[in-house]
Amino acid sequence: MKKLINDPVDVVAESVAGFGAAHADIVRVVADPLHVVRRDAPVAGKVALVSGGGSGHEPLHAGYVGHGMLDAAVPGAVFTSPTPDRILAAMQAVDAGAGVLLIVKNYTGDVLNFETAAELAAAQGIDVRTVVTDDDVAVTDSLYTAGRRGTGGTVLVERIAGAAAERGDDLDAVASIAAAVNADARSMGVALTPCTVPHSGEPSFALAEDEMEFGIGIHGEPGRETLPMEAADRIVDRLLDVILPDLPFASGDRVLLMTDGMGGTPLAELYIAHRRASERLAEEGIEVVRSLVGDHVTALEMQGCALTVLRLDDERIELWDAPVQTASLRWRR
């Protein structure tokens, strides 16, 4: 394992410090308890959006802090949910009295730590709502598991709810838009290579040269099944075979298609996958009206890709297109 790091213990602190240095026009980094807030926080009158989770998924979440998206991001250790004190500090830093929406990916650790923070914040008089994202259709059985995981759809929730908050929607409205976007988003990913957590030094799982991990989780936890490696088009079709019937998406739907890298996939390969996914959706009569291709929710240096499909309507398109100014998603500002 070769990594561009110093002491593994300092990975998150140093990385977030570098992030703060690079994007001082957009964010402010607080070192202890560690969290990232938008430069102009708290924004008077605006509902504040706070998210967070284990590190190693960059640009998620700090890369999405800024105008039209998150007010604060709370990074945990690599692949480890942040602790409640950090989350609470972030909530306190951004609450402008209009309340805080927590966007939490559905993993036991995230849910429990954010729950604790929400209780502490509520006790201090902060108005809190929580939306738990669970767009990952790889998890088959939601009853006898921790439930579906939050993955790529989280970025779309952050963006669209963020735009609603920027527009002036109140806490309940922003929370309900976030929940509705999550409910209409479906994702699934495949890994070609594992990843290695810095302090561990061991790959998260083993894959032979002719195998892929289908339904991989973003923490490098093994997926649904190990399958023989296939051509890109076939892999994309396999992912969509699970994603599309789940909502279900139907002919006539307008959607946003997100083709996400895992951190180590060349962009050229993501576009090859995106090409087939767009083509397949067209074959099914589903119109791709917005696209997002690149590394958005990663797992360190893992190679592979994940697809997210979100059903759109006029309002969501308008919110999607509204100005956004973050380190990793930016337009019209």
Ligand X SMILES: Nc1ncnc2c1ncn2[C@@H]1O[C@H](COP(=O)(O)OP(=O)(O)O)[C@@H](O)[C@H]1O
Closer CB to Mg ion, 16 or 164, in the complex: 16
Strand-strand pairing, 330-331 and 324-325: antiparallel
Give CA–CA dist 319/316, Å, rounded: 5
Rg (CA), the chain: 19
Q: How far is the CB of 111 from Mg ion (least distance, A)?
A: 12
Residue 44 is a binding residue for a copy of itself (CB under 8 A): no
Active site residue 219: yes
Contact indicator for 74, 48 with CB cutoff of 8 Å:
no
Residue 142 is a binding residue for ligand X (CB under 6 A): no
Closer CB to Mg ion, 79 or 214, in the complex: 79
- Cis status, amide bond into 228, omega within 30 of 0: no
Choose, by CB under 8 A, the member of 85, 170, 221, 233 that binds a copy of itself.
233
Give CA–CA dist 103/77, Å, rounded: 18
What x/- string results for residues 88 through 127 when contact with ligand X is judged by CB under 6 A? --------------------xx------------------
Q: How far is the CB of 107 from other proteins (least distance, A)?
A: 7
What x/- string results for residues 41 through 80 when contact with ligand X is judged by CB under 6 A? ---------------------------------------x
Contact indicator for 207, 191 with CB cutoff of 8 Å:
yes
- HSE-CB of 319 using CA atoms within 13 angstroms: 25
Active site residue 35: no
* Residues sharing a CB contact under 8 Å with residue 66, sequence separation 6 or more, in sequence order: 26, 27, 38, 39, 324, 325, 326, 327, 330
Q: Which of 67, 219, 274, 296 is catalytic?
A: 219
Q: What is the DSSP letter of 20?
A: H
Q: Which residues are catalytic?
A: 57, 219
The contact set with a copy of itself (CB under 8 A) reads 1-7, 11-12, 14-19, 21-23, 55-56, 58-59, 63, 192-193, 209, 212, 229, 231-233, 235, 259, 263-276, 278, 288, 291-293, 295, 298, 300-301, 303-305, 325, 330-333
